[in-house]
Structure 1
């Protein structure tokens, strides 16, 4: 019993102790816990950066700098608040600080880790954040194998305009424009592209996208008046948005009509409802939109889904034109502006590389015109020349146009031109009736072109009255488009263009056809010559062919050696008629020899319908004689390099005879010219080029005669007498084709019989408006024209046939003082001659047609006068 009680007692003691221990432990734990809760917190690390904290709500319990929207008011922002939070909404590039940033809603572009998948990275994201090289740092690539995403059905075309970037800038400032210089090196470029006249912004931009000269595309200037609309157009007026001003079919419509899409980030006409529609995507013009935003937007368009993505794009930048106007073409401000656009083009190329399209997109970067220095001290004043100017409205500047001040005022355009011509020594302006302007300008065939136009010397300006032209210092454009300072830059790059290639200059009217070829669509009718730009392309899309002849020659056989029974009033003392006429009866071998010598590149084809003519062969020349016009359509002959430059001897006097191969009903009479009053006859082929009297007789024929004003004949005779041998010497022999031109409606195309307005008095013999000359020689001047197997070169003239030579202020002096200058001012392209005559040359030259078209369209600025 005693032991049991002791054991029970021990158990109770152990239980009490256990409970006590548990109680103590619980008490200590609870006590310690409460004590811990009552302790003050440890030190908190203060904020020192806005990295991933931009615009977080302000928390006053957190020490350090702030990143909320109001931190600037209290001057408590973190040091990097501006760089990290503010600048992304103002700038368009990544910095090292921004790499891996938290995406910000207001950023222009992003540098976050997800920006590539979102397609909205800044264009230098991979370069700055991943160490990849910029596009300009890469080696030139031969893009013979395009690398486009599988979803791209065709290679996109991007057309970029850098307004007013004179061609010369690319060479002069190449060291400070590395991106443009790289594109020039790696792609296809030209020393310059000739702008259309007038060398102004809207006319040339619209020419580029329509292939039409300003006289045909409707935009003859940045400022103009339409007498039918009785309205004026300017870049700041509501009329700018009136589609009735815009003619032709811009390429974005050509693309849309053939199932393609277009996106335009500014281009003259692209935000106007032309032809009843807009591009698929377009931006209404707003010059305040940053250049970077324009590039970024185009890059976004390139990443659209297949059913939304455009095939053709435009991008327009106002610089360096604005700086050129403000500071002049040779200024620090101008250099800064071209550095700025070079940076923008660099962003474009980096962006294309970043989205994997730099080996896919075909890019054309160009300008609309150049820039020339001006000064307020160099102005010609209309009022100083003509006195009273109250009835005139004058468009001032580098090119002038004059009309009546209002519809009720009548002015005398020919009288005004005469009153402004050669009024003082060293005059800096020259007035013209629009029909008399050089054909190379293609500036007449529009009701919006005033009757009186004023060409202005480079660096000078034309104003109505003293001080009326207020913007005169700095730079401007609009001068003669042959001037080097008006030339525009052109670069192209992409898989369809040649690699590291420089081509010869060309005119911007050829670009529309080229761009259609790049898009693989068919162009609508335009002023360009399709196929003339094939040499830019690795694989040409269009293969041109010769136009078919519309009127084939008839035969003009010599049926009798006797002159016609009907008297033609001709006489030629000292000539043995039968003997001389027998020289016109060439054998087949003699005909072949004459053609081999004088039709070096084939007989000109006649594209005029219903033209009755025959080909007359002589030993010294060959003529296409028109039974319809009663005069030669053309005359062709070849002059070898002469041994001396002595002028040709005088033409045998008092001799003009009938051509026994031509029926008397199809020839003029000699006395018709004798009674023509202010007209005389002249020879298309110079008889005095022949060395013997017999050979001269071969050319003293009515079939070699054309009507001429005596004053113009001074020009023609000097050309025959002195310049033909000079050019044959310079070019190592030349083939010469000459003939009359009829363009009374001054549209640059040959007239129909109904359109011809003036005739030799008392006859149905038409008076030409111009005479043409086409000189062809070998581009390799080591080879004579008669043995040329390579490329050809040409010099052409379209000489206005007028009763007065007052256009030249030196016309009272000997012809050697002024005729050649006058002729070169009226220089033209082969294509201009073909259009205005209805002839087509070189069809038998055995040369590739694209090569011939390149030669025919070679701009006049690229054909320099040689002494």
Structure 2
């Protein structure tokens, strides 16, 4: 049984009388931290860009129609994408029931639950609890295997009074009493110990004080309401009516850098951890507001409490409580993504999950008897690019495509540092890839290039690095402008950066080394073109600051592994970083237990279109934090392949809130 207690923040968690398992650190909602997107993510395991409910109100240009909470459109199946759990349960021969869960009353008789109620806010909580109890005591052949109930307090009161109002506390007590009546009835019926109960919130809430902490967009872009379709407030989205690049730039340019509490993004530059771009229902201009701040088109509308801000804000974290025969007792768990609940519930009910964005096994540590972990995926070895065997081959490799980027010289003496013996190459792999070489789906065109200070995988067809991995033990000076030259391990037919820029890189771009720490003894290894990646000139400052921040962390933590590579899943290029160290003092990374492994990941856009001149370094790195599943999802690369399935699920289940290795992940601390 799944009970949503709307907007019960982790900070107002009081232990339910029957709860013996709880997560006081909270559960991370999907972005935006709004009602309908999160309810549907919980029961599908999908991000809003995948399930289609991208906000409480939005416009679909392909349908030429609008969706909103108050519109009759909300029951139209065309809006709801993906398979909700009640449908999985029903089509696999079991029984499901929903009491007012968003999406369950869509007009599709095939996908609707076995039992469901049309939403009616006049139905009291007592009546809802009675309906739930009546379903629970049906004969076994008719009894639901999966059941949900929706309670809209204390969210309603929090919006009208602010989340810190005593009236909100009153509503918490009222709902708590209604739940207690249900639990008492279940106990009297002898079924309390037979039901797995999850009580959770869909999101948190923060104050949005009337008359302060808001901006009026019309003051920066006159007539903006006439020129664009806008959904304003805590997370404004803007769709210019004239769909041209110039008009997008005019409106976004007028808003950018007007206030430090308002950050304007092209959606493809928006933090990738939000997975909020890949659908036409999301317009190209997105406005990120500091928590408690709002931006309105022409005038303020009053809501003393609100939600929808960055889901890593502490105020947006949601409550999670669970109790029942399947759950461990008296156990605290770290924060987790709410999309992972879908796979957990599928495992508990015994149904096969539909395709989803969550991680199978991520929450199995909550269970007394978790499912048996599947076998880890087999390792696909990557063939190494060998050093030319003789002078003739060496000279043939030098016939590869060149460009004005390559100003360094190739000589056999300089290039000899790339000629590693098999023994040294294998030892280098163990140092710089302590959890095995990251795995790509297609190994035919991905080749390993091994240097003394780093290992990398290179796509010889596209000419792009796939990933570069290195381990450092002390701070090192980063090299920004090496004397680039050909990597003679590539054959003449292989592609590289010069094939992407045959005329050379112009003044708007820079080529930087993915492994940037050159020394007199290895400077030749740093300067080979397989180590080069292009970034925009404005991103150079972020690149330099990141490596300064990395050095500071290495000075504090010692041995540190970094995996870095390009992200090419969208019109906006990016770079990912996975930085890992061991909390256990004196323990090598390769020997570090997973519970002591500290890891922080980033996915950074390298050619930010808007607001790039007014976002501070700390805010930029905080915004572009990511989880490991985010990186794997966007790159198609499988990291930490030598870990057991359970250990890998452990690190995949971590949200960005799990680490402060390089930056504090909570935006409200900035």
TM over 0.5: yes
Does residue 697 (structure 1) correspond to residue 514 (structure 2)? The answer is: no
1:771 aligned to 2:575?
yes
Determine which of 469, 485, 490 is the counterpart of 1:662.
490
Q: Give distance in 2, aligned partners of 1:572 and 1:229.
A: 55
8 Å CA contact 1:188–1:498 kept in 2: the answer is no
Q: Counterparts of 1:782 and 1:380 in 2: how far apart (Å)?
A: 51
Q: Is the contact made by 1:194 and 1:506 (CA closer than 8 Å) also made in structure 2? A: yes
Identify the residue that residue 39 of structure 1 maps to in structure 2: none
TM-score of the pair, normalised by structure 1: 0.72
1:565 to 1:279, Cα distance in 2 relative to 1, 3 A = closer
How many corresponding residue pairs? 652
Q: What's the counterpart of residue 617 of structure 1?
A: 450
* Distance of 2:45 and 2:176 partners within structure 1: 27
- Aligned residue for 2:504? 675
Residue matched to 1:163: 6
1:50-65 equivalences in 2 (<5 Å): none
Instruction: Indicate whether 1:635 and 2:463 are aligned.
Output: no
Shift of residue 379, structure 1, vs aligned partner: 1.3
Where does residue 258 of structure 1 map in the other structure?
92
- Corresponding residue for 2:31? 197
Distance in structure 1 (CA, Å) of the matches to 2:198 and 2:179: 12
Matches within 5 A, 1:687-726: 687-688=517-518, 691=519, 693-720=520-547, 722-726=548-552
Map of 1:841 onto structure 2: 639
The aligned residue for residue 42 of structure 1 is none
Q: In the alignment, is the contact (CA less than 8 A) between 1:595 and 1:622 conserved in 2?
A: yes
Which of residues 547, 551, 555 in structure 2 aligns to 1:729?
555
Could you tell me which residue of structure 1 aligns to residue 420 of structure 2?
586
Shift of 1:808: 4.2
Tell me whether 1:228 sits opposite 2:55 in the alignment.
no
Superposed CA deviations along residues 607-644 of structure 1, whole A, max 9, x for unmatched, are 2x37502111111111111101213211110012x2xx
- Structure 2 vs 1, CA of residues 531 and 288 (structure 1 numbering), >3 Å: closer, same or farther? same
Note closer, same or farther for the CA distance 1:382–1:669 as it changes in structure 2 (3 Å cut): closer
Q: CA deviation at 1:794?
A: 1.2
State how far apart, in whole Å, the 2-side matches of 1:588 and 1:530 are: 38
Cα distance in structure 1, aligned partners of 2:326 and 2:641: 29
Q: Aligned partners of 1:410 and 1:566: how far apart in 2?
A: 41
Take 1:650 and 1:233, find their aligned partners in 2: how far apart are those partners? 51
Q: Are residue 338 (structure 1) and residue 172 (structure 2) matched?
A: yes
Deviation at 1:388, TM superposition (A): 2.4
CA shift for structure 1 position 685 = 0.6
| In 2, Cα distance between equivalents of 1:801 and 1:409 | 23
The residue number in structure 1 matching 2:657 is 861
Does residue 1:381 correspond to 2:216, yes or no?
Answer: yes
CA deviation digits over 1:648-697, x for unaligned, max 9? 1655x662222221112214376957733233321111142xx4x13121
Change (3 A) 1:547 1:805: farther
Show the counterpart of 1:471. 302
Trace 1:341-356 onto structure 2 (pairs within 5 A). Answer: 341-356=175-190
| SS at structure 1 position matched to 2:126 | helix
8 A Cα contact 2:256 2:610, kept in partner: no
Partner Cα separation in structure 1 for residue 336 and residue 478 of structure 2: 40
8 Å contact 2:217–2:295 — kept in the other structure? yes
1:483-632 alignment, distance < 5 Å:
483-541=313-371, 543-548=373-378, 552-553=382-383, 555-560=385-390, 562-563=394-395, 564-566=397-399, 568=402, 570-572=406-408, 577-607=411-441, 609=442, 611-632=444-465
Q: Matches of 2:583 and 2:82 in 1, distance apart? A: 36
* Match of residue 599, structure 2, among 778, 794, 816: 794
Secondary structure of 2:194's aligned partner: coil
Structure 2 residue aligned with 1:815: none
Q: Say whether the 8 Å CA contact 1:192–1:505 is kept in structure 2.
A: yes
SS in 2 for 1:707: strand
**Aligned partners of 2:479 and 2:513 also within 8 Å:** no
RMSD: 2.4
Higher relative contact order (CA 8 A, sep 6+): 2
Q: 1:277 to 1:694 in 2, by over 3 A?
A: closer
1:481 and 2:307 aligned: no
Q: Does 1:292 align with 2:126?
A: yes
Query: Using the alignment, how far apart are the partners of 1:162 and 1:280 within structure 2?
Result: 23
Instruction: Select between 516-525 and 792-801 the one with higher mean Cα deviation.
Output: 792-801
Q: SS where residue 649 of structure 2 aligns? A: helix
Change (3 A) 1:333 1:633: same
Contact 1:584–1:618, Cα closer than 8 Å, also in 2: yes
Q: Which stretch has the larger CA shift, 549-558 or 774-783? A: 549-558
Pair member with larger Rg: 1
CA distance in 2, matches of 1:296, 1:181: 19
Are the aligned partners of 2:517 and 2:526 in contact in 1 as well (CA < 8 Å)?
yes
Asked if the contact 1:602–1:844 (Cα under 8 Å) also holds between the matched residues in 2, the reply is yes
Q: Give deviations 1:818-837, integer Å, cap 9, x for gaps.
A: 33431221011111111111
Gaps of 5+ in 2: 664-670
- Within 5 Å, give how 1:738-749 maps onto structure 2: 738-744=564-570
TM-score, length-normalised on structure 2? 0.92
Give the alignment partner of residue 237 of structure 2, picking from 391, 395, 401: 401
Residue 358 of structure 1 corresponds to 192
Q: Which residue of 2 aligns with 1:276?
A: 110
Q: What does residue 66 of structure 1 align with? A: none
Distance 2:486 2:390 in 1: 12
Contact 1:732–1:785 (CA under 8 A) maintained in structure 2: no
Q: Which moved more, 1:504-513 or 1:372-381?
A: 372-381
Q: SS of the counterpart of 1:313?
A: strand
Does the CA contact (< 8 Å) of 1:808 and 1:822 recur in 2? no
Distance 1:650 1:403, change over 3 A: closer
SS at match of 1:717: helix
Deviation at 1:734, TM superposition (A): 1.3
SS of the residue corresponding to residue 744 of structure 1 reads: coil
1:508 partner SS: coil
Residues 531, 542 of structure 1: 8 Å contact kept: no
Give 1:604 shift: 0.3
Whether 1:241 aligns to 2:72 is: no
Q: Is the 8 A contact 2:478 2:517 kept in 1?
A: no
SS at match of 1:491: strand
CA distance in 1, matches of 2:386, 2:632: 25
Structure 2 CA distance, aligned partners of 1:440 and 1:803?
A: 16
Q: How far apart are 1:269 and its partner, in Å?
A: 1.1
Is the partner of 1:209 in helix, strand or coil?
helix
Indicate if the aligned counterparts of 2:449 and 2:458 stay in contact, CA closer than 8 A.
yes
Mapped to 2, the partners of 1:434 and 1:649 lie a distance apart of: 31
- 2: CA distance, partners of 1:802 / 1:411: 18
